[in-house]
Amino acid sequence: MDPLSRLVGLARPEGTVDVRCLLAGRFALDNPARRPGEVPFHLLLEGRCAVEFAGRTIALRAGDVLLFPRGAAHRLFADRDGEPVEIVEEPGAAFPVRRSRAARPEVDLFCGCYHVAPGAGDLLFRTLPEVLHVSFGADGHEPVRMLSALLRREADAGGPGGAAIVSSLCNALLAMVLRVSPERRLPEDVPWTAATDEAVLCVIDAVLSEPGRAWNITSFAARAAMSRATFIRHFTRATGVTVGQFVTRLRMMIAADLLADGRRSVSAVADAVGYCSASAFGRAFRAATSTSPARFRAAAQDGR
């Protein structure tokens, strides 16, 4: 399995569509900040609208996906002529539908959320930009067009298994958003998960394969066939953090997954991710997750 797929697997996302919006005219939809572990997203199938977020305005067109890895508050709107339209919500076959009353829809928008596993999921999404905007384009990315068509079909038809199908399609969309190339993004919104730099891929693959090994920059650089200076320069440019910080995050994601599994003691998990003592591991885990390994393990078992 490739490194990105393994990371997404550790996060254990469960995607859902909260509502489908079929809107026209002038409208505004406020989206409050989400709780930890909730990552809202929007997929625009048809039309144009915009999003206000942290002083920014992001224009959306058909084929665009917007993801808020840290669950930030934002507003979806269309600032067209005329009075704001009246919006009504009605039940749908698979999820609710918001419609503009007495107006032909101009915007077809899916609004949903990814629920991610405590620990590993939180750590993954916390390392990403506050907003990810991917412009697949209505005619520029065949897999997304096919996925969008399937989502629309399930929304219209419903039926047994619909929720499971929608969740799987949303998860596929997430992987596409995380990996898509920089030319389909705004420069400030390129996450490290989309990096094609050998330095980053080398570190991810090495740590996921052998989290307990005593990795250092020299060994990473050798694997990537780079000098230390070149490796550090490439890595920092692609991720914005040091190699040590990045390795610690990956190890804590793996540790969270092992703790949640419940079959290993805290000491065994510490050893598995490269810590010589449970106390050193506990300090690192607490700094990353704001809880102790023992409490995290107990909470994960209680939640089953």
Mean pLDDT of 81-101: 84
Contact (CB, 8 A) for 170 and 17: yes
Q: Return d(Cα 220, Cα 197) in angstroms, integer.
A: 13
Confidence at residue 182, expressed as pLDDT on a 0 to 100 scale? 60
Q: Going along 24-83, which residue ranges are E strands?
A: 27-31, 38-46, 48-53, 56-61, 64-67, 74-78
Are 94 and 213 contained in the same domain?
A: no
What tokens appear for 172 in the block? 């596929």
Confidence at residue 238, expressed as pLDDT on a 0 to 100 scale? 82
Residues 6+ positions from 262 with CB-CB distance below 8 Å: 297, 300, 301
- SS3 readout for 77-145: EECCCCCECCEEEECCCCCCEEEECCCCCCEEEEEEEEECCCCHHHHHHHCCCCCEEEECCCCCCHHHH
| Distance between start and end Cα atoms, the chain | 26
Are 214 and 174 contained in the same domain?
A: no
Give 157-161 contacts, CB < 8 A, sequence gap 24+: 157/93, 158/92, 158/93, 158/94, 159/93
Query: What's the CATH number where 240 sits?
Result: 1.10.10.60
Predicted TM-score (pTM) of the model is: 0.85
Number of domains in the chain: 2
Cα–Cα separations (whole angstroms), residue 20 to 30, 63, 123, 152? 15, 15, 29, 9
Residue found under tokens 């107990």: 298
Are 162 and 24 contained in the same domain?
A: yes
Q: Return d(Cα 285, Cα 252) in angstroms, integer.
A: 6
Q: Which of 146, 163, 193 is the last residue of a domain?
A: 193
Phi-psi region of 266 (alpha: psi -120 to 50; beta: other; left: phi over 0): alpha
Are 107 and 209 contained in the same domain?
A: no
Q: Return d(Cα 7, Cα 16) in angstroms, integer.
A: 20
Are 121 and 203 contained in the same domain?
A: no
Q: What percent of the chain has pLDDT over 90?
A: 49
Contact (CB, 8 A) for 44 and 109: yes
Categorize the per-residue pLDDT at 186 as very low, low, confident or very high, splitting at 50, 70 and 90: low
Q: What percent of the chain has pLDDT over 70?
A: 93
Confidence at residue 303, expressed as pLDDT on a 0 to 100 scale? 63
Q: Which of 193, 227, 258 is the last residue of a domain?
A: 193
Contact (CB, 8 A) for 83 and 67: no
Confidence at residue 239, expressed as pLDDT on a 0 to 100 scale? 84
What tokens appear for 151 in the block? 């989502």
pLDDT digits (tens, 9 = 90+) for 160-169: 777 788 888 8
Are 78 and 162 contained in the same domain?
A: yes
Residue found under tokens 């993004």: 185
Mean pLDDT of 176-198: 70
Mean pLDDT rounded to a whole number for the chain: 87
Could you give phi then psi for residue 73, rounded to 5 degrees?
-70, 145
Residue 161 vs residue 211, higher pLDDT:
211
Are 40 and 88 contained in the same domain?
A: yes
Are 174 and 201 contained in the same domain?
A: no
Mean pLDDT of 252-273: 93
Query: What's the CATH number where 14 sits?
Result: 2.60.120
Are 161 and 218 contained in the same domain?
A: no
Cα–Cα separations (whole angstroms), residue 182 to 7, 136, 189, 200, 234? 20, 11, 9, 15, 16
| Of the candidate ranges 109-113, 167-171, 178-182, 285-289, the one whose mean pLDDT is the lowest | 178-182
Confidence at residue 163, expressed as pLDDT on a 0 to 100 scale? 77
Determine which helix (DSSP H) or strand (DSSP E) holds 205, and give its type and residue range: helix 198-209
The DSSP secondary structure of 259-282, one letter per residue, reads HHH-SS-HHHHHHHTT-SSHHHHH
Does pLDDT of 228 surpass 70? yes
Q: Which of 173, 193, 213 is the last residue of a domain?
A: 193
What residues make up the domain containing 100?
3-193
Are 223 and 113 contained in the same domain?
A: no
Closest Cα to residue 100, out of 181, 170, 26, 159?
26
Are 74 and 90 contained in the same domain?
A: yes
Confidence at residue 137, expressed as pLDDT on a 0 to 100 scale? 66
Are 178 and 239 contained in the same domain?
A: no
